[in-house]
Amino acid sequence: MREYMLPAHKRLIEAVECGPSIREYVKKSNNMKASSAYDACLRRLAEYRSYHLRIVVRFLAMPSSKTTNSKPIQGTGGTHAVKYLKSTRTATKESILNTDD
């Protein structure tokens, strides 16, 4: 998928990957304020991923299922789009530190 990205976006992702884990930093810090902020960001990201999934299903998967094309909708990188989006949303939710809320 990165081969389709703008060079600056690709470099940003690569720089973030090379950096330290924010999750591990927040976890080790035992700082409730940092933990709450981290979890709030992940919850918002999970909401965005759910919204993105609904848009793909509504405007791509559902119309495609009404045609003779029985292939699953593919994402930019050739992945099964709906499965991929569901898995990224699940991974995002699983990264939340305090799930008691």
Q: What is the pLDDT of residue 15?
A: 95
Q: Reduced to 3 states, what is the DSSP secondary structure of residue 26?
A: helix
Residues 6+ apart with CB under 8 A from 64: 73
- The confidence band for 69, taking pLDDT boundaries of 50, 70 and 90, is low
**Structural domain boundaries, residue 25:** 2-94
Give a yes or no: residue 100 inside a domain. no
Phi (first) and psi of residue 100, to 5 degrees: -75, -15
Taking alpha carbons only, the member of 11, 14, 23, 5 closest to residue 91 is 23
Number of domains forming the structure of the chain: 1
pLDDT exceeds cutoff 70 at 6 = yes
pLDDT exceeds cutoff 80 at 65 = no
Report the chain's C-alpha Rg in angstroms.
17
Mean pLDDT of the chain: 90
CB burial readout 2-30, b (16+ within 10 A) else e: eeeeeeeeeeeeeeeeeeeeeeeebeeee
Give a yes or no: residue 101 inside a domain. no
Give a yes or no: residue 36 inside a domain. yes
pLDDT exceeds cutoff 80 at 97 = yes
- The confidence band for 96, taking pLDDT boundaries of 50, 70 and 90, is very high
